[in-house]
Chain A
Amino acid sequence: MVPTLLGRIQTRLFLLATVGVIITLLVVPVLPGPSGPLGDRYAGGFLVLVAVGVLGIVWELIYHFLMQFRWEKDWPTLFGLLTLVPEGLVLYFLLRSSAVDFIDPVPPAAFWTHFTLVWVCMWLVANGPMRVPFIRWRFRGGRVL
């Protein structure tokens, strides 16, 4: 899928709400580090997803801008995977600095395991299986609606 700006944002939010939620439901109970009631840990996990979505809109604007320098106006598969590094780092430091004060600081191991798993699964789904139910998605620059 070669994205348009609207398609990027929609795909991100859609995959967070589907793949992201499923992975979070599955992994939060077994994440290393955090203690406390499971409900609180789930709340933390879902808030991370929300943060990836909200910050992601800004990221997508940046990616869209950078893509304009490419002749083909494409976004290679590898970029979609490697952007987890800057996005993860920014989010991690925001959470640690308590700038986002409604999420309790998360232990590093738990954050990175959760974040990376969600990211890689979303990336895998976007690079193939997504096209099985949604046959028009890839021809519309990633728009779901």
Chain B
Amino acid sequence: MVAAAGIPIYDTPFLTVGGGMGSFVTLDYLRIYGVPTSQMRVVSNIDHPWQTYEFLTRCSQIPRKERIRSDSSSRPDNLWGFPSYALEEAWKERKPSYLWQILTEPLLNDYWTPRAGTVFENLEREAKRIGYWDMLVKGQVRMIRRRSDGGYFTVITPPGGAAPTKRIVFRSRFVHVAVGYPGLKFLPDLQEFRTKHGDYQHVVNAYEPHEQVYEFLKTRSGTVVVRGGGIVASRVLQRLFDDREKLNLKTQIIHIFRTFVTGSHGPNAWSRRKGGNGWAYQGFNYPKSVWGGQLKAEMRKLEGAERAQKYKNMGGTNTPYRRRWQEQMRAGREGGYYHAVQGTVDRVERTPDGKLVSYVRSGDGIVREPVSDYIIDCTGLEADIAEHRVFADLLQHGGAGRNPVGRLDVERHFEVKGTASGDGALYASGSATLGGYFPGVDTFLGLQIAAQEIADDLAGRGFVRKMGPLRSTSQWFKWARNSPV
């Protein structure tokens, strides 16, 4: 039928769609396990795998020289995680102090985390090494459908002029979906304001480019409302504080937490997280043991409501305790230019002189009405999966379902439940699969854990040989010498 419609069909045994970090890490694993580039394709609308990640980190105030929130041994360019980023940076920059920090983290020091630039440079090196661009096909994925003979058809819209037809189709036995965050989620009151006033300049999401806020504050003193209690709020505050310090600005900051954490919190001594001044503190975006320890082992056994509850217990917005940030906030509180308050915002309105007034209702019933020049929404990248057309189609026509927290339901080996087709399989990894048997999906190490499960499952289906200690070691030496797989 597809051929009869005049749409060209291309065959590839394994296709990954997305072309961001999730696709890259999965291809890296499979290349190292031994799959040749001729057997795999990646469909993407971006040119290199870290492009979206770099865009989002840069918007949220992590340029290449700044450090991301990620463990030293979570290396998407190196599936062994050895040598860790800390060893590499210590060696290259001749900085033994990094080794001291990694030895004493998190007890005497903050967690050591890599520079964004270190991550991107290494990704580029690895992408070249595994022949990533030999596998890249530019295009926008429209849908993935099961074939009656097994496997899948994936419909792609190539860039204008790149192909003779408007659509092309890939026929493959295996498909992997890693399309990332379906989109930005705006707080309802801010979305309402933006729609009503058509103002996308003064009310911004931290993941959008919003340099105009900082530029404005350089030209005259102003007030900024920051919403949210996560890592992005920390980053935005750091930028505001840094600029204030460096350029001697008079910026006033009002920080609104929906949940204001005043100290250690949790039901009992066995599960109590540190916190204070509004924040919940945690080194990384999940408790460390989700990537291989106790929490990973526990979650793997849970189903349904029990699993959802476990996610709830360990969840909640949080940020790392970093000494530099603590100093800046302390100085801000003492200097009277940083005000943290608890509250939910009923609505945002524009004053006659063009400023923004937020109607903030606190838990104790008090309503505050802070006036500001800008509002920065730092509450996250959490849109519903059905907002992405590929997921919407899979949910509607592909047999896929939702897990206990509402995202895409996957098996322990990351096959999307209910989508099997003959001897083929459809896998997914990344944020869309949050809520599954493994929690840390939207992280570097989580993508690698998913990739390993997928590669081992593909080995079980005869697509590639499972990698044992000997091949692993010889492949590590190839990685170290930067020689092709």
Contact = CB atoms under 8 A, between A and B. Distances in A.
A72 B467 contact: no
B269 A69 contact: yes
Given A76-B105, A77-B103, A132-B82, A138 B292 contact: yes
A72 B104 CA distance: 16
A133 B283 CA distance: 28
A73 B266 CA distance: 14
Contacts of A140: 292
Interface in B432-485: 449, 452, 467, 469-470, 472-473, 476
B282 interface: yes
B84 A133 contact: no
A69 B105 CA distance: 18
B452 A139 contact: yes
Contacts of A139: 291-292, 296, 449, 452
Interface stretch (A1-9, A21-29, A34-42): A1-9
Contact of B288 (A74, A131, A136): A74
A97 interface: no
B472 A78 contact: no
B297 A4 contact: yes
Contact of B282 (A68, A71, A141): A71
Contact of B289 (A72, A128, A136): A72
Interface stretch (B12-20, B120-128, B242-250, B270-278): B270-278
B476 A72 contact: no
Contacts of B106: 76
Contacts of B107: 76, 78
Contacts of A142: 292
Interface residues of A, number: 29
B102 interface: yes
B399 interface: no
Nearest to A2: B293
A8 to B, nearest CB: 10
Contacts of B105: 76-77
A129 B82 contact: yes
Nearest to B445: A139
A134 interface: yes
A110 to B, nearest CB: 28
A2 B291 contact: yes
A135 B32 CA distance: 12
B97 interface: no
Chain A interface, >50% SS class: loop
B287 interface: yes
Chain B interface, >50% SS class: loop
A131 B294 CA distance: 19
B96 interface: no
A77 B476 contact: no
B79 interface: yes
B295 interface: yes
Interface string B66-82: 00000001000001111
B363 interface: no
A131 B272 CA distance: 31
Nearest to B467: A135
Given A71-B273, A128-B82, A135 B294 contact: no
Contact of A4 (B87, B282, B293): B293
Contacts of A78: 103-104, 107-108
Contacts of A76: 105-107
B315 interface: no
B83 A72 contact: no
Contact of B473 (A68, A69, A71, A132): A132
B270 A72 contact: no
A77 B102 contact: yes
A71 B294 contact: no
For the complex of A and B, the 9 pairs showing the least CB-CB separation, nearest first, are A2-B293, A133-B469, A73-B289, A74-B288, A72-B287, A72-B288, A73-B294, A128-B82, A139-B292
11 contacts: A2-B289, A69-B270, A71-B273, A73-B294, A77-B103, A131-B80, A131-B82, A132-B476, A135-B80, A138-B81, A138-B292
